[in-house]
Chain A
Amino acid sequence: MILHSETPWPALLILLPLAAAMLSFLFPRSAKFTGVVTAIIIALAVVGFGWHLQSEGVYRHAVGGWGAPLGIDLYGDGLTLLMLAVTALVGLAITLYSLDYFNTEQARWFWPLWLLLWAALNALFLSADIFNLYITLELMGMAAVALVALKGGRDALNGAMRYLLATLLGSLAYLFGVVLLYHGYGTVDIALLAERIDHQPVAWAALGLMGAGLLLKTALFPLHFWLPAAHASAPAPVSALLSALVVKASFYIFLRLWFALFAPLGGEVAWLLGLLGALAILWGSWQALRQTRLKLLVAYSTVAQLGYLFVAFPLAAVAGVVLWHGVIYLLISHALAKAAMFMAAGNLLRFGGHDRIVDLNRSVQQLPLSTAAFALAGVSIMGLPPSGGFIGKWLLLEAALQQGQWALAAVMIVGGLLAAAYIFKVLGYAFTPSTSREESIPIPATMAWAPLLLAFASILLGFLAPALFSLLDIGSPFERGAGS
């Protein structure tokens, strides 16, 4: 393959899954084939895009020749690249896992929706203006809600309904903010806004609305009420992509806006975020520990792990770029580990026909690969070395201790211990002999291996930090006004 610098990788990353979504809708019989081919090409395209960024620096492209403030701009730096890459990796695993997961009726809807969601995610990471971000956010949300409802039944519909309300409310708040900013400053381009924004009530109102909307979608405590039901009731591959990618997408927007627009406006907000993050860690972990169903446990663990991302905000003013490296590392490792965990949980549930934790012994023993995936992913979630989770946590902890923020450090450590408690609550059943001998559904090899490989990747991340940090620094995304 010729890696010409003019190859339009970003356009490919957005248009290919979009076209594939339509194809799989029109030709459901070849949907699986379309899905796999798309996933592979996307992975290659991300590599190509990475190559391009590495050699040429930041990517900026005006679609159709219309630049800001009028047209649609695509923008890519190191942060974009890593988000695209983790999406491609998790997406590939989810695609392989889903080949045998769904029955024909469900597959008819799954493939178009999933590929559409993928297109929305890629477009979101590549967007340079807040209106475009809104479009992609809404698209992603709608596809996600439909995917949650895919299984049918009371639980799924209930979860989907809660999710629909939350995501609509979030998008609406965000959209209001966009409108206010556009009215006040005459542009929706992030870089231009960053130059023009000042301390005016309209800016405060807009940012408050956008922030609240995004935090609702990111399920930051106490706005997490919709997450456990939605993530736990969805089919396994959907739970995986919701917890691994979809909540991260809204966090990504929040982060982008934080650097460009929010940060200069007030340090108290950072402390509020830190406080909510700390509460999320404690509350989410505690709830996870109390659950009796495996998928709910994993879902509450997501609530807790999202908290870690926000604990960083009050530390950032002093700690700087290193800390954000840690945050992104936590984000990526959590994406890999949590996707692996949900898929492994899906295997256990499918095999034994239930996910009651106390009765898991038989499934856990008959499915060593899935159990291993769960355990390895658990190591990263607990933040034990060697894993990506450990690297992220180390950097956060270092910043907290450096600044004498003992409370935050204590919360992170307690969070790790609680995570160990809820993960070993499940793994403890891997050793006790079981008594029941019910019928069970066998698990195909792809479904067993996909989560295991993702879990391995989350461990491997523990050794890749220096390389990934230097990629992440392309275009220095963590400095104010980056992208201008």
Chain B
Amino acid sequence: MDIPHDWFVGFSKSFGLFYLIALSIGITIYAFWPSLGNRFDKAAKSILDDEDGPARGEGFDPEDEPCR
């Protein structure tokens, strides 16, 4: 199939310009969808307690631990 140059340029300038912007808008809506907040909070904390290990006692605040 032979794609004419003008058609290709037109396609690039129209669809090609906007689809990435449309996808970005879509992902912004996803990232800030209110009901997903809990899931994201859990994910953010997941790396801090990410390994099997002894359970920490009540009242343990990781902020109190000195940096090495």
Q: Is this pair of chains taken from one and the same complex?
A: no
Which residues in A have some Cβ–Cβ distance to B below 8 Å?
A: none
Residues of B within 8 A of A (CB): none
